[in-house]
Chain A
Amino acid sequence: MPASDTTTAPPPDPVRAALDDPDLRARLRVHAGCLLDRWLADQPRTRRDQEADDAVSESLARAWARRAAFDPALGDAAGWVHGFVVRVLAEACQRLRKLPTQGIPDATGLAVDPAEFDGEPEFDPFALLDHLPEDDRVAVEGFFRLGWSHRQIADRLGIREGTARQRVSRALGKLRRIAGEVTR
């Protein structure tokens, strides 16, 4: 009879692996920082950094406490942890900006119908281009119709690549709102 292996390695814990990942921590820090920098724009950098560090620590602690609720079959632990940051930031926003509670459902039990975002009424971005300022029009046409990269849009408009990405996003947002008004 072959000898049985009495010691077996514990199954890998995706939540622990995610929480131990320094790259994820850095990305969570950017997530928290980009909002806290805006909310606390009049505060010293040290205060904003402290708030962002606290928000990340609190999010990691909550994710660890709720790790049993994570289902690896449904998705990625890193994205799941970002959900905790959203919740912690919502509370921070309420505290720092004295805003009303938004009643966010528990991230672990939040059910999302993909159709809410993917199935929104389609609009043709090109049909409404005339409503946009010139630079927004160049960004949307270049990105979607001509297949330009954000780098190419940035070079064309004389802006940074990140600004080009945001210009495309903000222009799409404007078109979505305009489309809503047109079809209403």
Chain B
Amino acid sequence: MTPNPERLRLARLAARYLEALEADDFVTQAKLWKLAESEPAVTAAFRQVHADLAEEQAEAESAAAGGAIAAMVGQHLPSAEIVTAAVGPVTVADVATELFRHPPGQLSAAAHSLNEKLRLSQDPLPADLGLSKLVAWAEARFGTAPAEYWRAFRQAAIKLELRRASAEEYQLAARTAPKRPEGGA
């Protein structure tokens, strides 16, 4: 498909404007607004840039506040577990974090080391959690580990999958029921 020239032009101007805003380059901002005066579509594109930046900053602030609260809880209530609403598929990092919090006994130092590495992986789990397929899938990505580690990993993965499915069902069940019409039976 050939790019729409006007779409490309508006996107380029919005990109230049965002760049100027983030670089505190007011000369370029002033020039771009002068250009926008005679083009309502450019004005709208620039305003959208403001709105998106504001939304991004609000989200960053909210995340920072949440992180600060979580850090305080972690510091003062070390036995507490912060449960956050889960979204998306269960990832390798989710499972590794679960193993970090609730480590099974008898894990070797190498297994703990691999688990630390896996806590950084955002790969979703494979659909098939059968032990042999899971081990083949995981070792192809992350390298080998003792069999007891993969067994513990699989158990934690199944636990998290079930917990996630249960939470989704709860959300569906807890949604607001539609109001009955006035005078209805």
Contact = CB atoms under 8 A, between A and B. Distances in A.
Main secondary structure of the interface of A (DSSP, over half): helix
Contacts of A114: 35
Interface string B8-49: 110111111011010011110111111111101001001111
Contacts of A176: 12, 15-16
Contact of A173 (B15, B47, B59): B15
Interface string A45-57: 0000000000000
Contact of A172 (B12, B27, B51): B12
Given A38-B57, A165-B52, A172-B12, A110 B31 contact: yes
Contact of B27 (A102, A147, A158, A163): A102
A131 to B, nearest CB: 15
Contact of B34 (A83, A97, A166): A83
A146 interface: yes
A89 interface: yes
Given A102-B27, A114-B35, A147-B1, A27 B47 contact: yes
Main secondary structure of the interface of B (DSSP, over half): helix
A112 interface: yes
Interface string A16-52: 0000000000010011011101100100000000000
B56 interface: yes
Given A35-B21, A145-B3, A165-B52, 7 more contacts: A30-B47, A76-B40, A79-B38, A87-B26, A107-B34, A111-B34, A169-B11
25 contacts: A31-B50, A34-B57, A37-B54, A74-B38, A75-B38, A76-B40, A76-B43, A83-B30, A83-B34, A87-B26, A90-B26, A93-B24, A105-B30, A107-B30, A107-B34, A110-B30, A117-B32, A117-B35, A146-B1, A163-B52, A165-B49, A166-B49, A166-B53, A169-B49, A176-B12
Interface of A: 27, 30-31, 33-35, 37-38, 41, 74-76, 78-80, 82-83, 86-87, 89-90, 93, 97, 99, 102-105, 107, 110-112, 114, 116-118, 125, 143-147, 158, 160, 162-163, 165-166, 168-170, 172-173, 176
